[in-house]
Structure formats: structure tokens, C-alpha cells
Amino acid sequence: MPILDFFLGRPLANWEERGEQIGPSAGIPIFGLDALSSAAYGPEAALTLLIPLGLLGIHYILPVVTAIVVLLIIVYFSYRQTIEAYPHGGGSYTVASENLGHHPGLLAAAALMIDYVLTAAVGITAGVGALVSALPSLQPHLLGICLLILFILTFVNMRGVRDTGVAFLIPTYLFVGCLLIVILLGVFHVVVTGGHPVPVMAVPRLPAATTTLTLWLLAKVFASGCTAMTGVEAVSNGVMAFREPTAFNAKRTLTIIIALLIVLLLGIAFMCQAYGIGATEPGGSSYQSVLSQLTTAVAGRGIFYYVTIASILLVLSLSANTAFADFPRLLRAVAVDNFLPHLFALRGRRLLYSAGIYWLVFLTAGLLILFGGVTDRLIPLYAIGAFLAFTLSQAGMVMHWKRTGGPGWHWKMMVNGVGATATGLTTLVVLVAKFMDGAWVTALLIPLLILVMSLVKRHYDRVASQTADDTPLDMTGVSSPFVIVPLDRWSRITEKGMRFALALSHDVQAVHVDCGEHADALDAVWQRNVVAPVKAAGLPVPELVTLQSPYRVIILPLVDYVLKMEREHPGRTIAVLVPELVVRHWWENLLHNQRAQLLKLLLLVKGNQGIIVLNIPWYLQE
């Protein structure tokens, strides 16, 4: 255990929960990495679709990003209200199921589950992909590096929330700091040059226009840019991780994340327009990311350039961490409502929902291996889940205000209503724009997940309805059981079983299955070793029943006999005592038949409430 403690930290007691809670400074790396890192690919995704428009296309990026920012602000105000209303964690699942019903809740949950797994896989491969395009010699190790980063993320997260926040603090603030410097320098140049800045170093020239803008293209550009908004719901889902005053700290964290994201998005869009920088053909030989071009144009290719690029790569791959923070919490919330195995609601040694983390790692590793570390094809699947969850969450909040009222509920309802409408429309746009590219996979997976969760719930409901019991203990018919002891031959093992049987009940039967070997000998032993001493002790003498088994099967005649006795003694508990040799080494089991186990299994499968199988272990000494 000390080794485990050294690597993963010592176990945390329940009362140490408060020490694990965090404030905004740790909250930003933990819950904001996904949202902030999307500044690195959201605008680029939009610009890539504008390439065919040439230089003209760049003029559309600022309006599109502004529209996204407006949406972001709407979503921000909606989530502020959600956090306030759900200080114990107001993820889309919780809000939707509490206010709209179970099915919308499950829809949100399924959408988010898919989204988080994709966040983890796409985040890691995006970072590693950028690293590999910078250092092509690493290409053969692509998948290995992806899995290594997954391992590091897992390892850091297994140490608990606080340690994770500390570990990711520096990369996050370095990333934000560098990008802010790039933007400030750029704005300064623009202002100084009166709106016509000259790049410090040349950037690729844009190709000539090959098409003109259509509404359909604009919709697709908007839909792609919206990937910048994924990860915004993370804070509201993880409110419970914050220290008191919980809602206040969570809101402050959300405010900072959204404000930074807005500055980054608008800054990037503004500078692209000012410097005439667009996306380059992805996968082309002269590919260069938009942020790389921007940094080059503003600051040249000095140390600052390399630090900035490095921080982008790092934050991209670490953005997967948001999935680590939220996926287990989401699963826990669903499991508490009986829609997933209860295992997901148990907290491990570091107060984490460990099972959720294991599953996330398992699924992410599966995706990484399946796609060989190249997850470009997964990107279209992405973002729909997030927007679906946004919409359901906002719609839920509308119902929440209508239901609960409170001061200014009309205004609050309006804010969430605008949010729901805006995100709902966006969801439709994204779904239509990306359906053929792969969004249909998500559209298929979501109902499947909902089905599975419904089946799980049905099972738990069945168990609950059958086992629920608030009546006092029924003391009628509490009487000693009818005891059956399978008997092979007389030994200390059997003796222990018989002693226990006689202690339990006065109705004891020993049952011997005779395959044609030593029945008569056993009868004599029985008379001498059992009947005589029991008579002497003045107790009722147990009966020895011999079952003939011409086909040399031992277990089935026993099972049949037990079932027969059950029918003959209705209402009485039948206790089958299985004396069992317990060895100290696993390999010793190879030397003994496993009939006791098999008998137990069959009686469990065939039996009903009236039959109870009891192991009487007899321990072999060294």
C-alpha cells in the first residue's frame, strides 16, 4: 500500500472532502481547459470552410465569431442562473430530468457522455497531431504518445481534484498569457499603423476565390465555429467540487473562463481580418495553423513564438482533462437515479468516482487505438452533443423558473428562454450541416444509450419493488430449517458439517450419491460414527439417504433430491450444508473436485426462496 500511496496519494477520509474542494484559480484549469483550448481550433475550423472564398472570406470571420460570442454570452447568463439554482451540481442531465422529465434528461446525459469521450480522444490527438506536424520524426510514435498522455492524465486525475488543479495551473495560464500577449501586440500594431499592420514576418498568401458565399456555406461556417463553445457546461456540472461559498466560486470561475474565451475569440477574429490571415488547406504540404500564422505575423519566429506554440500544443492535449473532471460526475448523477450501475456512484480512495474514470480511460484508449491516434474523422461527431445538452439544460431552466417562481422569475425565465432558443437553433444548424459528415453516428448512438439506461433503470426498479420492505420482521414460522448434508465419505470435513447441522436443527438428513462403490461400507460407518453418538446424546437421529446414480453423475441427483424435499416440506426452509475443503494455494484446487461449487451454482440457478446453501469450510493446514 505505501507504494500506491506514494504514487496516487494516501487515501482520503470523508471529512477531508473540504480540503479537496477548490477555488477559481484551480477551477479554471480543471473545468476551463476544454472551453479555453477551443479558442485554438474554433476560429480555425470556421476559417477552413472559408478558404474557397479567398481573401473575401476573411471578412466574414469577424461577423461569424461575433455571432458565436453573442450566443456564448446568452449561454453564460443561462448557466449562471443554473449554478445558482443547482448548487449541488446542475449539469444538463440534472436540470433536464428534474424539470422536463426523465427522457429529456437521458437525452442530455447520452449526448454529454458521447461528447466527453470524444473530448478526451479528440483533445489528445489534436495536441499530439500538432506536435507531430512540428516534429515529423515523431510520426511513427503517434499512437504511443497519445496513449502516454492519456496515461499521464489518468495518473494525475487519480490523485484527486486538488492535485489535478495544481498540475494544470501553469500550462493553462501560460497558454492564456501567450495568446493575450499576441492579441495585445497585434491590436497595438493595428492602432499604430492606422489599421494597416505589416507582418513582422511574411505569412502564407491566400489563394484566389473559387466560389461565392451562400447561406448554406455560412451555416456550415457557423456550425464549425461553434465547436469553440464546447466545454462551457463543465462548471455547472461540477459545482460541488468548489469550496464554500460554492455557487459564488463556481460563478466566478465561469465568468473568468467565458470572459477569457470571448477575448481570445474576438481577438483572433479581429487580427485575422486586420492581417489578412486565413486558414491553409489542412493536410496540405504548406499547412500552418491560424494561431501559428498570427504569432509569426505579430512577433516573428523568436523564443516567444516557440513558447506560445508549445503552450497551445500542451493545452490542447490537456483539454481532455475536462472530460476526466466531468464524465465521472455525470455518470454518478445518472447512477444515483438508477439509470446506470450503482458502481459509478461510489467514491474511491481519493474521494473520486473511480469507476467513471476507468471507463473514460477505457473508452478513450479504445477510440485512440481504433483510429490509430488520428481522430480527424471524429470531429464532426463532436459539438452536437454539447449543443443538445445546452438546449435541454436551458429549456429545463425555463420550466424551473416557471415552476419555482421567486423574485424576478420572469426575467430569469426570459434569459434561459433566449438561451434555449438560440442553442436549439444552433443544434439544428450543426446537425444539418454535419449530418452527412458523421453526425449521424451520434444520432444513432444516443437512442441506443438511452435504451440501455432505461433497461438498467427497469432492473433496479424491479429489484427495489421486490425487495423494498418497511414492514417489521415477520416472526411467524421462524423455525429451525430442514438440513440436508451431501456426504461422500466420513472424514473430519464431513464431521464438521454434521456437527454444524446438528447444532442448527433436529431435522437432519445426510445424502450419499452411490455410483456403485462403497455404499455398504458407508452404512456401517454411519451407524458407528453418527447414529450411536447422537443417540447417546439423546438427540433425534439423522437419516442417511442413499441415491443410486448408475450414470455416475453426482450433482444432478443431489439437486433433484433437494428440490423434491422442498416440495415435500412446503413453507419450510431447506438448508443444504456443503462441507468444503479450503486449500491455501490456488493450484491445490486442481487436485480436488469442485463439486461443492457446482452444487451451489446449480441450486442457486434452480432453487427458489426456500433453499439456502451453506458452505461449511474446512481449512487445510500447512
Looking at residues 485 to 514 of the shown chain, list those that interact with a copy of itself (rule: CB under 8 A): 490-496, 498-500, 502-504
Shortest Å, Cβ 491 to a copy of itself = 4
Nearest to 23 by CA among 359, 288, 253: 253
Closest approach of Cβ 593 to a copy of itself, in Å? 7
* Matching residue, cell 473430519: 492
DSSP string covering 41-64: THHHHHHHHHGGGTHHHHHHHHHH
Q: Residue 550 interacts with a copy of itself (CB under 8 A)?
A: yes
Q: Scanning residues 511 to 540, which ones bind a copy of itself (CB under 8 A)?
A: 515-516, 525, 528-530, 532-534, 536-537, 539
Determine if 2 is a binding residue for a copy of itself (CB under 8 A): no
Q: 1 or 215, CB closer to a copy of itself?
A: 1
What is the smallest separation between the CB atom of 112 and a copy of itself, expressed in angstroms? 21
C-beta of 159: minimal distance to a copy of itself in Å?
16
Contact between 11 and a copy of itself (CB under 8 A)?
Answer: yes
Nearest Cα residue to 290 out of 48, 55, 499, 468: 48
H or E element in which residue 580 lies = strand 574-582
Helix (H) or strand (E) holding 613: strand 611-619
Phi-psi region of 383 (alpha: psi -120 to 50; beta: other; left: phi over 0): left
Chain centroid offset of residue 588 CA: 40
Of 88, 403, 506, 592, which one interacts with a copy of itself (CB under 8 A)? 592
Measured from the CB atom, the residue of 234 and 493 that comes closer to a copy of itself is 493
Q: How far is the CB of 512 from a copy of itself (least distance, A)?
A: 16
Q: Which is nearer to a copy of itself, 59 or 159 (CB)?
A: 159
Cross-strand bridge partners of residue 22: 242
From candidates 1, 2, 6, 15, binder to a copy of itself by CB under 8 A: 15
Residue closer to a copy of itself by CB (options 279, 603) is 603
The single residue listed with the C-alpha cell 452404512 is 523
Site for a copy of itself in 36-95 (CB under 8 A): none
Neighbours of 30 (CB within 10 A): 30
481 binds a copy of itself (CB under 8 A): yes
Half-sphere exposure of residue 62: CA atoms within 13 angstroms, side-chain side: 12
Residue (of 338, 331, 148, 117) closest to 230 by Cα position: 117
Q: Return the number of the residue (75 or 603) whose C-beta is nearest a copy of itself.
A: 603
Q: Does 140 sit behind a cis peptide bond, omega within 30 degrees of 0 on the bond before it?
A: no
Contact window for a copy of itself (CB under 8 A) among 10-18, 130-138, 201-209, 291-299: 10-18
The contact mask relative to a copy of itself for 343-382 (x = CB under 8 A, - = no) is x--xxxx---------------------------------
Give the Cβ contact number of residue 574 at 10 Å. 21
Size of interface with a copy of itself, in residues (CB under 8 A)? 83
Of 19, 65, 73, nearest in space to 45 by CA = 65
Query: Where in 560-579 is the site for a copy of itself (CB under 8 A)?
Result: 573
How far apart are alpha carbons 364 and 341 in whole angstroms? 20
- Residue 205 CB: number of other CB atoms within 10 A? 10
> Considering the rule CB under 8 A, would residue 334 count as an interface residue with a copy of itself?
no
- Using the structure block, give the residue that is written with the C-alpha cell 417562481: 405
Shortest Å distance, C-beta 91 to a copy of itself: 22
CB of 109 to a copy of itself, least distance (A): 17
Residues in region 449-468 near a copy of itself by CB under 8 A: 456, 459-460, 462-463, 466-468
Q: Of residues 140, 478, 570, 571, which one binds a copy of itself by CB under 8 A? A: 478
What's the grid cell of residue 188?
497595438
Residues 119, 72: Cα–Cα separation, whole Å: 19
- Which of the ranges 21-29, 65-73, 364-372, 590-598 carries the binding residues for a copy of itself, by CB under 8 A? 590-598
